[in-house]
Amino acid sequence: MIIKRVSLAGLAALALAGCKDGGGDAQAKGAQVREADNDPTRAVVAWDRRAARMTPEEMERARLDESWMQVVQLDPITGGRNERPNPEKWEQLSIESVNTAPQHVPLYGDVGGPSVLRIQVMLDRALFSPGIMDGRWGKNTAQALYWFQKREGLPATARADSATFERLRSASGSPAELVVRRTLSAEDVEGPFTKIPEDVYEHAKLDCSCYESLTEKLSEMFHITPDLLAKLNPGVQIDGLRAGQTVNVPAVRDENAAGRGQQVAKLIISGAGTYLHAVDANGRVIYHFPSTLGGKYSPSPTGSYRVTRVTQDPSWHYQPDILVGVPDDEPDAMIPKGPNVAVGTVWMALSEPHFGIHGTAEPQTIGYASSNGCVRLTNWDVEFLSRHIRSNTPVEFRDITGQKQAEDPANAESSGSASARGNSAPSTPAAARPSTGTSSGRSGAASERTSTRREGSTTPSRADTASRSGTTRRERARTDSGARSRPTTTEPAKQEEHAGHPPR
C-alpha cells in the first residue's frame, strides 16, 4: 500500500497492526508533535503497509473459520434423530420475523436469518458479545455461545439448542421484542458528519474524525452492519432521518444498567482463541468480547500485567519513524479524535511497555483478522469494558504464538526513490475488488466507499477522562480491510434437530 501522501485505504491494515505506547521513544518532528510527546496518555499503533487487505471472500472464510476450537474443549453432540435443515434465509429478516417467527434450533454452520439474529441480540444483551451483528452465523457468534454455555453449565457445543436458547433468553432479560422501533432524539441524529479524506495529511486538517453519515452513526450505536440496518428498514433513507422519526434497530444491551454488582477481578486474553474475558474473583466469566491480537511485527506479550490507565476519545499521532513498513522520512501528523480515529474510542494502557487494549474504526475485522501486539475490540465493547474495570486490574495473556519480532523492512525501502516506495505495495483499486451485498451481510454503501480508513500510528494526546455518554460509535462495515485469516474448509453443516420456540 502506498504510504507517501497515501490513500487512507492503507490504514485498514491495522488488522495486522503492532501496538506501542510511545513513551517518548519516537522523536517529534514539529512543535505540535513535541508537545504531544510529553502527554503520558498517548499510545502508538504500528501497522504493516504491505499487508494484504481482506477481500469479501476472505471475510467469508474467516466467518466460518473454526481454528479457535483448537484451544477449547467442545462437549459431545447428542441427538440427531430428528435432523432437519434450518429453512430460514437472511433475506427473511424483518422486525416482524425476528419478533414473532419460531426459533429454529440447532443453529450452527453457514446459516442466517431471524433465528440467528435473535441469538446474536440476546448474546449482546447477556454481555457475551458476538461483535458486529449481521444476522449470519459465524465464528464470533459460535464462540460467544460456547463460552456462555460453559459458564452456565450447559453442554458446551457452540451450537444453539433448545436449552441454550431458554437460558440465553433469561440471561438477556427476557425482552418482549428483540428488534424495536426507536424514536430518534436530536442527539441520535446530531452530526457533524464529515467525509474522511483518503490522504492522511488532509485528514489531519479536520476538526474531528467524525462519522461520515447518519447510517454510520446509527449502525455503531446498535452494533450492526449498515447492510443489516437497511434490511430492517426497507425503503427508508437512513441518512435522511430526523429527530422524532422512527427506525427499527436491535434491542442492544443497556449500557447503563448492564453489569451492575459484578466486580471484574482480572482480564484474560487469548491469542489463538481471539477473545477477551473479564472474570470475577472465582474465575467466572462475566463478560466475553471477540478480539484481534498477535502477529509477526509486534507479537503480543505473554504472562501477566495490569491496566495502568484509560484514555477516552484518543487522538492519533501518526509517527512514521516507529511504524512498521513506513519509511522513516515521512512527516508526522496529528489526527483529531473522533469515532473514525485509528485507535477507536478508548485506549487502555498496560504495564508492559508498548502494549494496550483499544477500539477500532474497522469492527467488522474484530475476531476475524490478526493484529500485531495490541488487543483490539469493537468500540462499543471496549467502551463498556472501560467503564467496568479499575486501575491496576490484572491482565493475563494466554495462547500467544510467541513469534519473535520481525525486522521492519521499511528502511531498506526508504533508501530508494519515493516512486519506488510507492510502487512496492500498491493498494488494490476499488473497482478491482468484488462488491458485496446482502449475500455477505455487508453494506452496499460501505462497499462503494471500500476500506478507506488507515489505522496506523495512534497517539491519544488528549484525554477526556470524564465518562462518555451512553451513545456508542457506529460500526464501520468495511468489506475488504485487515489481514488474511487462516481459512478453514467447512463442509455444509447438518441440522440435527428442529424445534420451534416463540420469541416471547
In angstroms, rounded to a whole number, what is the distance separating the alpha carbons of residues 10 and 16? 11
Peptide bond before residue 106 is cis, with ω within 30 degrees of 0: yes
In angstroms, rounded to a whole number, what is the distance separating the alpha carbons of residues 5 and 376? 26
Cell 499503533 locates to: 45
- How many helices (H) and strands (E) the chain has is answered by 14, 16
Q: How far is CA 392 from the centre of its chain?
A: 25
Give CA angle at 72 (70, 73), nearest 5°. 110
In angstroms, rounded to a whole number, what is the distance separating the alpha carbons of residues 36 and 56? 38
Query: Considering only CA atoms, which of 454, 29, 427 is closest in space to residue 199?
Result: 454
Task: Please report the pLDDT score of residue 44 as a whole number.
Answer: 58
H helix or E strand, kind and range, residue 46: strand 44-46
Task: Please report the pLDDT score of residue 451 as a whole number.
Answer: 37
Query: Considering only CA atoms, which of 319, 338, 339 is closest in space to residue 329?
Result: 319
Q: How far is CA 463 from the centre of its chain?
A: 22
Task: Please report the pLDDT score of residue 194 as a whole number.
Answer: 94
- The answer to whether residues 43 and 459 touch, using CB atoms and an 8 Å cutoff, is yes
| CA gyration radius, the chain | 22
Task: Please report the pLDDT score of residue 83 as a whole number.
Answer: 61
Residues in a beta bridge with 136 = 112
- The answer to whether residues 188 and 323 touch, using CB atoms and an 8 Å cutoff, is no
374, 388, 498, 501: which is the annotated catalytic residue?
Answer: 374
Task: Please report the pLDDT score of residue 168 as a whole number.
Answer: 98
CB atoms within 10 A of CB 308: 17
User: What distance separates the 2 farthest-apart alpha carbons in the chain?
Assistant: 72
Query: Considering only CA atoms, which of 30, 443, 502, 416 is closest in space to residue 239?
Result: 443
Domains by residue range for the chain, with CATH = 8-61+257-449 (2.40.440.10)
Task: Please report the pLDDT score of residue 156 as a whole number.
Answer: 97
- The answer to whether residues 368 and 139 touch, using CB atoms and an 8 Å cutoff, is yes
Residue 374 catalytic? Answer: yes
Query: Side chain identity at 331, as an amino acid letter?
Result: P
203, 277, 354, 358: which is the annotated catalytic residue?
Answer: 358
Query: Considering only CA atoms, which of 146, 14, 122, 165 is closest in space to residue 68?
Result: 146
Task: Quickly list DSSP for 448-470.
Answer: HH-S----------S---SPPPS
Low-confidence ranges of the chain (pLDDT < 50): 1-18, 20-37, 47-52, 296-299, 372, 403-502
Query: Considering only CA atoms, which of 13, 7, 35 is closest in space to residue 342?
Result: 13
- The answer to whether residues 310 and 344 touch, using CB atoms and an 8 Å cutoff, is no
Task: Please report the pLDDT score of residue 485 as a whole number.
Answer: 33
- The answer to whether residues 376 and 360 touch, using CB atoms and an 8 Å cutoff, is yes
- The answer to whether residues 74 and 485 touch, using CB atoms and an 8 Å cutoff, is no
In angstroms, rounded to a whole number, what is the distance separating the alpha carbons of residues 41 and 122? 35
Cell 487512507 locates to: 8
Task: Quickly list DSSP for 146-182.
Answer: HHHHHHHTS---SSB-HHHHHHHHHHTT--S-SEEEE
The DSSP call for residue 81 is T
- The answer to whether residues 74 and 158 touch, using CB atoms and an 8 Å cutoff, is yes
Give CA angle at 183 (178, 186), nearest 5°. 135
Task: Please report the pLDDT score of residue 413 as a whole number.
Answer: 43
Q: How far is CA 409 from the centre of its chain?
A: 28
Describe the chain by its helix, strand, coil percentages, rounded to 5.
25, 15, 55
Question: Which grid cell is 423?
Answer: 510502487
430-452 exposure pattern, b = at least 16 Cβ within 10 A, e = fewer:
beebebbebebbbbebbbebbbb
Task: Please report the pLDDT score of residue 42 as a whole number.
Answer: 57
| DSSP-derived pairing of the beta strands 179-183 and 246-250 | antiparallel
Question: Which grid cell is 239?
Answer: 441518512
